[in-house]
Structure 1
């Protein structure tokens, strides 16, 4: 859409470099506004984002560990039930 508008303006006599400059400024302004609305326009925003990424990575690791532990317990329980069914109940404690 932007490229089409720039082509149309250029065909009407506007300078392509000026149009690109306008588009770049508009993009930077929009990005700054979006960051401000998210509360990430201050000097500590980069540190905040890094901490959020670390927190998200820790959450994913904890979730993965919990799933693995639950799966391990399920496997152990199934094996214990199989041993009991086969008559080796004395081995399961």
Structure 2
């Protein structure tokens, strides 16, 4: 029967630490990508809303307050921006 070669404990510990580090890095990069995606979406919504207001195509009724005043956007702005986005 052949002898089994053993792996040094230090190598196993380093490998486990590498897996942990890779997982932490992947999570950090994913969180950064989500934050960046949300920032770019907010910029696109703001510019679309301003564009619709300036071209008098804003669908918000005169009697209703614009949702942009409260930090939101109307469905027309959201639909126009989200239709061009691949991944959301």
Report the TM-score, using the length of structure 2 for normalisation.
0.52
Measured after TM superposition, the shift of residue 90 of structure 1 is: 5.8
Kindly indicate whether structure 1 or structure 2 has the higher relative contact order, using CA contacts under 8 Å at least 6 residues apart. 2
Corresponding residue of 1:68: 37
Cα separation, 2, equivalents of 1:43 and 1:76: 50
Please give the root-mean-square deviation of Cα atoms over the aligned residues, in Å.
1.9
- Aligned partners of 1:58, 1:75: CA distance in 2, in Å? 26
Of the two, which has the highest radius of gyration?
Answer: 1
Aligned residue in 2 for 1:86: 55
**Pairs aligned (count):** 53
- Larger fraction in helix: 1
Q: 1:55 aligns with which of 24, 37, 54?
A: 24
Structure 2 residues without counterparts, runs of 5 or longer: 1-9, 61-65, 68-88
Cα distance in 1 for partners of 2:47, 2:34 equals: 20
2:46 is matched with which residue: 61, 77, 90? 77
